[in-house]
């Protein structure tokens, strides 16, 4: 299991190439890590866990707080190995389902992350505001819609409406502080390059406009820089 931030996972992948193992499961958000792992380790030994749970660390309580979630998914970008079905027994408490192709679920989570993480980070608010304030709900939908357009261009059919999914997740995890906002509050590097940044890059390659994701990407990157120089 590799549970690091996306930017640290690349170093882990480089070290894993020298180890003997059957399967490595990645949990990172966004795009780039799974692709790099398949290239270095081989697609038959790489799986992705799309974890749909909201958790944040409470400084006051000095503990991690679960604020909601739904079914999560694990699989490969092809036929999953048989032992993956046994592995999910260890994740029973998380309600994890094995799927034959993880890609649609990964992209649905990407649409949710791109909208919720970036918007809450820029605004400095918990997830619930995006569902509660009409103007923010509209902005959330616009960001998720762009991700869906990029996915559509490369032939990925999402398993649910990404706009509705983003709003639903914001409601279910209303009290959650997104990982991007948490990182900025601690002056840590964010994963925005693998989320909104990846959407923008792929959109450019495919000639799909992504202005909302691009603006959020620049804003979050600017907040990273400002945090380190204040």
Question: 92 versus 154: which is more confidently predicted?
Answer: 154
- Residue 73 pLDDT: 95
Query: Is the confidence at residue 96, as pLDDT, over 90?
Result: yes
Query: Is the confidence at residue 228, as pLDDT, over 80?
Result: no
Helix, strand, or coil here: 29? Answer: coil
- Residue 230 pLDDT: 63
Q: At what angle do helices 134-153 and 103-123 cross, to 10 degrees?
A: 150
Tens digits of per-residue pLDDT, 24-62? 999 999 999 999 999 999 988 999 999 988 887 888 889
Taking Cα atoms as reference points, which of 151, 167, 171 lies closest to residue 159? 151
- How many residues in the chain? 230
With beta carbons less than 8 A apart as the criterion, state whether 4 and 179 touch: no
With a CB cutoff of 8 Å and minimum separation 6, the contacts of 20 are: none
- Residue 155 pLDDT: 96
pLDDT band at 221 (very low <50, low <70, confident <90, very high): very high
Question: 30 versus 67: which is more confidently predicted?
Answer: 30
Tens digits of per-residue pLDDT, 148-194? 999 999 999 999 999 999 999 999 999 899 999 999 999 999 999 99
Query: 6-229, which class in CATH?
Result: mainly alpha
- Residue 121 pLDDT: 97
Tens digits of per-residue pLDDT, 100-143? 999 999 999 999 999 999 999 999 999 999 999 999 999 999 99
Residues with catalytic function = 109
pTM: 0.94
C-alpha atoms less than 13 angstroms from C-alpha of 178 in its C-beta half-sphere: 31
């Amino acid at each position: 299991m590799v549970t690091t931030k996306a930017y640290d996972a690349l170093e882990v992948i480089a070290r894993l190439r020298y180890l003997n193992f059957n399967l490595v499961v990645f949990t990172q958000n966004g795009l780039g890590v799974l692709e790099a792992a398949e290239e270095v380790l081989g697609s038959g030994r790489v799986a992705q866990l799309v974890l749909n749970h909201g958790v944040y660390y409470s400084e006051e309580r000095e503990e991690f707080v679960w604020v909601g979630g739904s079914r999560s998914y694990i699989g490969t970008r092809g036929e999953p190995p048989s032992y993956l079905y046994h592995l999910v027994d260890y994740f029973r408490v998380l309600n994890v389902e094995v799927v034959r192709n993880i890609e649609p679920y990964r992209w649905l989570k990407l649409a949710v992350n791109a909208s919720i993480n970036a918007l809450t980070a820029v605004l400095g608010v918990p997830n619930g505001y995006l569902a509660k304030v009409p103007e923010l709900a509209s902005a959330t939908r616009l960001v998720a819609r762009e991700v869906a357009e990029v996915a559509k261009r490369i032939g990925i059919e999402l398993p649910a409406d990404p706009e509705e999914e983003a709003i639903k997740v914001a409601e279910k995890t209303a009290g959650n502080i997104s990982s991007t906002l948490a990182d900025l509050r601690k002056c840590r590097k964010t994963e925005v390059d693998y989320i909104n940044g990846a959407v923008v890059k792929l959109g450019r390659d495919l000639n799909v406009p992504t202005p909302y994701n691009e603006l959020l990407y620049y804003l979050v990157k600017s907040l990273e820089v400002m945090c380190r120089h204040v």
